[in-house]
Amino acid sequence: MTLLPSATWRALSEAHHQQVHALIGTYLGERSRGATHPVIDFLFTYYSLKPAQLLRWHPGFGYTLQDAAEYENLRGYRTTAGGVTASAQHLEHRRPTITYIADLMEATATRTPRFGCFGLHEWAMVYRGGTEAVRHSTVPLRLGHAETDAVVESLPLRCTHFDAFRFFTEPARPRNETHLSRDTQIDAEQPGCLHAGMDLYKFSAKLLPLVSTQLVWDAFTLAYAARELDMRASPYDLTAYGYDPVPIETAAGRADYIRQQQQLSQRATTIRTQLLEQCRALLAH
Is there a domain that residue 34 lies in?
Answer: yes
- What are the Cα distances from residue 283, in Å, to 91, 95, 99, 100, 211? 9, 7, 7, 11, 12
Q: In this predicted structure, what is the pLDDT of residue 260? A: 98
DSSP per-residue string spanning 93-145: HTHHHHHHHHHHHHHHHTSPP----TTTHHHHTTTT--GGG-S-TTS-BSSHH
Q: How far is the C-alpha of 112 from the C-alpha of 108, rounded, in Å?
A: 9
What is the count of structural domains for the chain? 1
Q: How far is the C-alpha of 211 from the C-alpha of 217, rounded, in Å?
A: 11
Q: How far is the C-alpha of 4 from the C-alpha of 59, rounded, in Å?
A: 9
Is there a domain that residue 144 lies in?
Answer: no
Is there a domain that residue 70 lies in?
Answer: yes
Q: In this predicted structure, what is the pLDDT of residue 132? A: 57
Is there a domain that residue 135 lies in?
Answer: no
Question: Which residue range is the domain that position 216 belongs to?
Answer: 2-113+187-283
Q: In this predicted structure, what is the pLDDT of residue 66? A: 97
- Strands (DSSP E) found in the chain: 2-4, 63-65, 77-79, 84-86
Contact (CB, 8 A) for 272 and 109: yes
Is there a domain that residue 82 lies in?
Answer: yes
Is there a domain that residue 44 lies in?
Answer: yes
Mean pLDDT by 10 residues, the chain (285 residues): 96 98 97 95 94 97 97 96 96 98 97 96 92 70 96 97 96 96 95 97 98 98 98 97 97 98 98 98 96
Strand partners, 63: 2
Is there a domain that residue 136 lies in?
Answer: no
Q: In this predicted structure, what is the pLDDT of residue 102? A: 98
Is there a domain that residue 151 lies in?
Answer: no
Q: In this predicted structure, what is the pLDDT of residue 137? A: 65
Q: In this predicted structure, what is the pLDDT of residue 174? A: 97
Q: How far is the C-alpha of 153 from the C-alpha of 115, rounded, in Å?
A: 19
The pTM assigned to this predicted structure is 0.95
Q: In this predicted structure, what is the pLDDT of residue 269? A: 98
Q: In this predicted structure, what is the pLDDT of residue 134? A: 63
